[in-house]
Amino acid sequence: DVHPSWELDCQQNYIFYKVDDPSKRIRGLWFHEQAERVRFEEQLERLLGSLRNPAPTAAVEPPAEPQTLAKPPQQAQPSPP
């Protein structure tokens, strides 16, 4: 799992990262192609950025009250004679 507290150290053909748990070792990824490493680094940096600074979510509006059809006003009935 990717965690926002990861610290990256990107070097020629390698991406090293330190995880949140200080008792864990530094981990690394090796890339045969430098261009592939650069692409992966860019994607990983974007992901970490979005985890560290999530975009604000739009406020959820409560559903509108259902509209009822208004009844036409009743006319007075003539009284019998």
Say what the pLDDT of residue 5 is.
85
Tens-digit pLDDT string for the chain (81 aa):
788 888 899 999 999 998 878 888 899 999 999 999 999 999 999 999 999 998 777 666 666 666 666 666 666 666 666
Say what the pLDDT of residue 21 is.
81
Closest Cα partner for 34 from 8, 12, 16? 12
Please, how many CA atoms are within 13 Å of residue 79, restricted to the half-sphere of its CB?
A: 1
> What is the CB neighbour count within 10 angstroms for residue 37?
19
Say what the pLDDT of residue 19 is.
83
pTM of the prediction? 0.61
**Residue in this structure with the two tokens 């974007």, named with its chain if needed:** 46
